[in-house]
Amino acid sequence: MSSSIHRQSSASPLLQVDAVNLEYRTPQRTVRATQDVSFDVYPSDRFILLGPSGCGKSSLLKAVGGFLPIAGGQILLEGTTITQPSPDRVMVFQEFDQLPPWKTVLENVMFGLVASRKAGRKQARETAKYYLNKVGLDGFADAYPHQLSGGMKQRVAIARALAMQPKILLMDEPFAALDALTRRKMQQELLSLWRDAPFTLLFVTHSIEEALMIGSRILLLSPHPGRVRAELNADQFSIDDVSSPIFRQSAQRIHSLLFDDPKHDGQPEKTPLLHAIG
Ligand SMILES: Nc1ncnc2c1ncn2[C@@H]1O[C@H](COP(=O)(O)OP(=O)(O)OP(=O)(O)O)[C@@H](O)[C@H]1O
């Protein structure tokens, strides 16, 4: 896989998240979800947001998706401020019920293309078939979501997202509800899809192992409210390395960066730490 370090020297960032504060306001109180979070995502990055539960990973993804207004800072896609959802940012969620159950698998994948007028019905059908084939589901085009396993439903959600050819694919713990074997298979399949035709991925997980396997770059966030702890290059690992000593050492190092460094506790990072791991 190509290194994002080289891309960074030649390409402009696709996505710029600049000193972003996110808040949830209720009549009783305001919850600060992230504080001064900054990062850049370059074309074809597999960029991971990694941190403990409640550090604001999903909130950041929602803000990039245009579903959550920001309380401070700015988010730019190709230099333009994100203010609302758009088909150029498509989200895949953890939940298996993200597919309308009354539509067949094929109709589910076609739907966004037709609704957004990216394609007419005929072309949407062809594109949908192409991506269903890519995720190994061409035999299930006429099935309904309730006839599929959890892994198959996630494959449909991925096919539906890729069919839209978004500028950036947003994935919120998409494999977290799967059993361990299916999860590993889906991770492999996602990387294989990326190798076939690289896309830009912003992927949320709280699994250090998954971050190292999937990511080319990893942003570590501190516990609630999320602040940047460090940014890592992680392009050197493949799924086959998962049992290797160097992989284990890197996972341990990330664990320490996330949880063991007392000098960062409660202190917002002024400058994200840049590390190369491995
Ligand atoms: N709708 C909401 N209303 C109020 N507070 C919220 C809401 N959604 C999230 N929060 C709060 O914002 C903070 C960040 O939540 P978020 O879901 O973004 O974290 P996360 O890192 O994705 O967590 P997890 O890994 O558990 O999904 C948490 O303190 C959470 O309680």
Q: Among 151, 202, 200, 174, which Cα is nearest to 92's?
A: 174
Testing ligand 1's pocket by substitution, the residue of 28, 37, 57, 220 carrying the most ligand atoms inside 8 A of its CB is: 57
- Judge if 192 and 125 occupy the same domain: no
Do 42 and 172 sit in the same domain of this protein? yes
Total number of domains constituting the chain: 2
Residues 66 and 149 in one domain: no
| Shortest-distance atom of ligand 1 to CA 55 | 21
Range of the structural domain that residue 220 is part of: 4-88+167-276
60 CA to centre of ligand 1 in angstroms: 10
How confident is residue 10, by pLDDT bands cut at 50, 70 and 90?
Answer: low
Q: How many other C-beta atoms are found inside a 10 Å radius of the C-beta of residue 239?
A: 16
**Residues 140, 132 contacting (CB under 8 angstroms):** yes
Q: Do residues 60 and 35 touch, judged by C-beta distance below 8 A?
A: no
103 with 82, same domain?
Answer: no
pLDDT band, very low/low/confident/very high, at 236 (cuts 50, 70, 90): confident
Q: Which residue has the higher pLDDT, 159 or 239?
A: 159
What percent of the chain has pLDDT above 70?
90
Domain boundary among 141, 165, 189: 165
Mean pLDDT of 80-89: 95
ipTM over 0.95: yes
Q: How many other CB atoms are there within 10 angstroms of residue 12's CB atom? A: 11
Residue 181 CA, chain-centre distance (Å), reads 20
The DSSP output letter for 7 is H
Is residue 110 domain-shared with residue 213, that is, in the same domain? Answer: no
110 and 83: one domain?
no
Nearest-CA residue for ligand 1 atom 12 is 33
Q: CB–CB of 275/233 below 8 Å?
A: yes
CB atoms within 10 A of CB 126: 11
Range from 1-5, 20-24, 237-241 that averages highest in pLDDT: 20-24
Amino acid 267: pLDDT: 47
Identity of the residue numbered 109: V
Instruction: Tell me the whole-structure pTM to 2 decimals.
Output: 0.91
User: Do both 268 and 133 map to the same domain?
Assistant: no
Measure 54 CA to ligand 1 centroid, in angstroms: 5
In terms of pLDDT, which residue wins out, 97 or 71?
71
Ligand 1 atom 1, closest CA: 24
- Are 157 and 176 found together in one domain? no
Place of tokens 């791991």: 277
Whole-number Å distance between alpha carbons of 259 and 101: 41
In this prediction, residue 242 carries a pLDDT of 84
DSSP strand pairing (201-205 vs 217-221) = unpaired
Instruction: Determine the distance separating the centroid of ligand 1 and the alpha carbon of 188, expressed in angstroms.
Output: 28
The encoded tokens of residue 42 equal: 């370059």
Q: Annotate 39-65 with DSSP letters as a single string.
A: EEE-TT-EEEEE-STTSSHHHHHHHHH
- Reduced to 3 DSSP states, what percent helix, strand and coil does the chain have, rounded to the nearest 5? 40, 25, 35
| Same domain? 195 vs 160 | no
Ligand 1 binding residues, C-beta < 6 A:
24, 31, 33, 51, 53-59, 206, 224
CATH number at residue 268: 3.40.50.300
Task: Give just the sign of the alpha carbon dihedral 190, 194, 195, 196.
Answer: positive
- Pick from 17, 31, 170, 171 the residue to mutate for probing ligand 1's pocket: most ligand atoms within 8 Å of its CB: 31
- Tell which of 165, 195, 212 closes a domain: 165
Q: Are 160 and 269 found together in one domain?
A: no
Q: Which residues contact 85 (CB under 8 A, 6 or more apart)?
A: 65, 66, 67
Phi, psi of 87 (to 5 degrees): -65, -10
Indicate if 124 and 206 belong to the same structural domain.
no
CA dihedral 100, 101, 105, 107 (to 10 degrees): -50
Beta-sheet pairing, 201-205 with 46-50: parallel
Which DSSP helix (H) or strand (E) runs through 233? Answer: strand 228-233
Task: Based on the fold, state whether residues 73 and 193 are members of the same structural domain.
Answer: yes
